[in-house]
Structure 1
């Protein structure tokens, strides 16, 4: 090994910071460098602030006793709440996260798993309104004598973001022309930009926000403003945002943000979230619009502050993207090709499957094992001997596991341990009819949740064959569609 791995630690916070810088390509002779803040432990830039706030709080007030839990209230778009709840997991804190209604269900489930209480607030409400996240957090804090409210919109000490800026300075050797930062509370922007501008004369800083946001020179839209991308944008200017450090504001649509994030994931393996997609979209569009170049190599840094892992039900869901019209032409073509076009209207019949090898419910487990091992099958359809109707299936892995556990014997009947498709069995499995006329596009969707498909007629009277994802991939390879 050319370098040493991190030492053993007892604190997750020890692994926060020192995130990688990745060259993600060149647009119009402008090099784009991405600061991968989503590689922090919880997948967010907010880990830096959470660590700093908790450490400073404990310096002033001591570490809470195990028998006396302190309460922390976090009005945020959830990432800060996740960071604080994660770092507080081994400490005696009760975390209450006040999040907007737009917050993805993935992050809500993560907060719940961390033991945090969750309070929802309207998406775009003014901070002084009684139902705003800030007002709700402040009101709840009054119920606890020693409660701590971590409101990033009012953060004054920007040390954690100065540390991030120093990392950027060292990684780029101070050779940097433009900085692109997604803005919500403004604390990260203010801390990073002010630090770098003091050390890099001529640095241009671009604030990135969603369409409808009112952070820049655009007029806030109040209750009528809404956007789907999380973690950036606001209808008011927080006190933690120093607008003097921002040279230009760029608004990015939801479609641009989500589509760019999906392209970064697919084309470069950069597992970033939608707000990171917005920042890269802004930097790419800006680079494409530059008309004059000198011999100087132009370089831009983008802050990728969130992970795609917190958006499995939104960003990573093809169906959700299509339902919400968030796929641009490039992503739309990719999705349509992968889900439908590459199958060229082919059906299960085109797979040319061999005739089904079946077994009756009365057959012994030994018989089933011999048949599967001899034919190299992983599953066998179970057919009723009287009417030849499909009643279930048995899998090789399941039988072998049960034999090892001693819950079945070789001479036991298959019906005692098969996966049944009838209501008479307590081992009921949901059945979806797959016929020779089923499109391969539909079969591919079926394989997203199932390892194999039993092909029958439309009335399920006859078992015609067994299809697996292997058969589908082989078909695509033969037709040169893969």
Structure 2
């Protein structure tokens, strides 16, 4: 009979899959190393086993101990599988930008999950780096994994992932493309492949808000490059010991939006349901296409499963809120469609300025049309009211008609966005849309900005 002694025996030997549509513009053979076939659905299963086995061997991890790690979710899942089989407890410290699915999955496999804020410095006591270290100091019989600086991480990929890729491509691989987070995958695979053939190019995919690309090119750790980003699993605000920059031929950076959009493209065009870092890797690969020749064999690694991003990149509302959803907003009616049933907020000519201010506060708006019995006769916005108040503090007790400006232009539902945008200027911040039922709605500059891609 053919079977594994436990679930850990199924780790590795993941398939290479030819990509077709999503990389159609690349003049080379592009193969994806699909790591979702690991039992924990990510590449991190490999190094989780290696790090624990090495810690057991040298006595850092004792029987019945507690494993503690800061993770973006995938390493935690791999550690959880090993902890279950070997009888360890597990505490995963995770940043609040990670998907809810990742947190729920970790809890489902018995891990205790501690959530920390993302937007803090690594040295901040609230950061998931600091909290992980503190918990390791406070917890009896515990071991802090530290996947960033634990060189068993990259060794796992030197011993497993690299040889698999070399064998599967029959040594014909010319380029390896992968997202870089802890650095274990790119460094371990890169070291093995370059030992086999020094001409193989190793490309890292970075994200905006991360320090890797600039540090690789200049040797400068630029803290100005560090800021919060949405993309998960790649990029860092530290320099992990697992990142061997001497093995990496270059980096390219991918935006949050492109990473999210291409994550969905992989599923729709290739039928491969993978995570956010895979989208970044494919967009990065496309950005590097001038480096590839027809006879080249390019291997790109897909880290994890799309199931961990169902509430994010695969959720239309989440994508739309961030301006990532590639919708065609062609007409005025597309902009106002979500609030056509809401009453337009207006102010009458004889009402006091204080009434307009109260209405702006209540509805959190910056512009209000002014009406009388004949219809729209003027407008006020917060900038005009501010200037008037600075000149005369008593303006709040004056009627609106004394401070109002020109009425907002009125357009039809069928008016194109390009035409609507022409009405905006430094003197005009809004346009009214005739809903053709006796009512109107408003489009502001902010509404137009939200449509920009």
Same fold (TM over 0.5): yes
Question: 2:13 aligned with 1:18, yes or no?
Answer: yes
CA distance in 2, matches of 1:62, 1:298: 44
Deviations 1:11-32 (A, max 9, x none): 1110000000011024342221
How many residues are matched?
Answer: 321
Residue 224 and residue 200 in structure 1: after superposition, are their counterparts in 2 closer, same or farther (change >3 A)? Answer: closer
Match for residue 161 of structure 1? 157
Q: Is 1:204 equivalent to 2:201 in the alignment?
A: yes
Q: Do the aligned residues in 2 keep the contact of 1:229 with 1:254 (CA within 8 Å)?
A: yes
Contact 1:21 1:36 in 2 (8 A): yes
Alpha carbons 1:252, 1:282 under 8 Å: kept: yes
Q: Corresponding residue for 1:90?
A: 85
1:63 Cα offset (Å): 9.2
1:321-332 to 2 correspondence within 5 Å?
321-327=319-325, 329=326, 332=327
**CA shift for structure 1 position 78:** 1.4
Structure-to-structure mapping, 1:308-323, within 5 angstroms: 308-323=306-321
What does residue 143 of structure 1 align with? 138
TM-score, length basis structure 1: 0.63
Equivalence for 1:37: 35
Q: Is the 8 A contact 1:213 1:220 kept in 2?
A: no
Work out which of the residue numbers 213, 216, 220 in structure 1 matches 2:210. 213
CA distance in 2, matches of 1:63, 1:215: 31
> Quick one: distance in 1 between partners of 2:110 and 2:268?
33
Say whether the 8 Å CA contact 2:94–2:116 is kept in structure 1: yes
1:168, distance to aligned residue in structure 2 (A): 0.5
CA distance in 2, matches of 1:11, 1:28: 41
How far apart, CA to CA, are the structure 2 residues paired with 1:307 and 1:62?
A: 31
Q: Runs of 4 or more off by more than 4 Å in structure 1?
A: 60-65, 218-224
Residue pairs, 1:397-476, within 5 angstroms:
none
Q: Give the Å deviation of 1:299.
A: 2.0
Residues in 1 aligned to 2:265 and 2:110: alpha-carbon distance in whole angstroms: 34
Q: Describe the shift of the 1:299–1:224 C-alpha distance in structure 2 as closer, same or farther (beyond 3 A).
A: closer
Question: Could you tell me which of 40, 47, 50 is aligned with 1:49?
Answer: 47
Deviation at 1:50, TM superposition (A): 0.9
| Superposition deviation, residue 9 in structure 1 | 2.5
Name the structure 2 match of 1:8.
3
Aligned pairs for 1:206-245 within 5 A = 206-217=203-214, 220-221=222-223, 225-245=227-247
CA offsets per residue over residues 333-367 of structure 1, 9 Å max, x none? 6x99xxx9xxxxxxxxxxxxxxxxxxxxxxxxxxx
The answer to whether the aligner puts 1:106 opposite 2:101 as a matched pair is yes
Deviations 1:393-414 (A, max 9, x none): xxxxxxxxxxxxxxxxxxxxxx
d(CA) in 2 for partners of 1:10, 1:28: 42
C-alpha separation between the residues in 2 aligned to 1:34 and 1:211? Answer: 24
Q: Structure 1: how far apart are the matches of 2:138 and 2:274?
A: 38
Secondary structure of the residue that 2:85 maps to in structure 1? coil
CA offset at residue 111 of structure 1? 1.2
The question of whether the paired residues in 2 share the 8 Å contact of 1:129 and 1:135 is answered with yes
* CA deviation after TM superposition for structure 1 residue 230, in Å: 0.6
Aligned to 2:172, the other structure's residue is in SS state coil
Taking the aligned partners of 1:31 and 1:284, their CA distance within structure 2 comes to 13
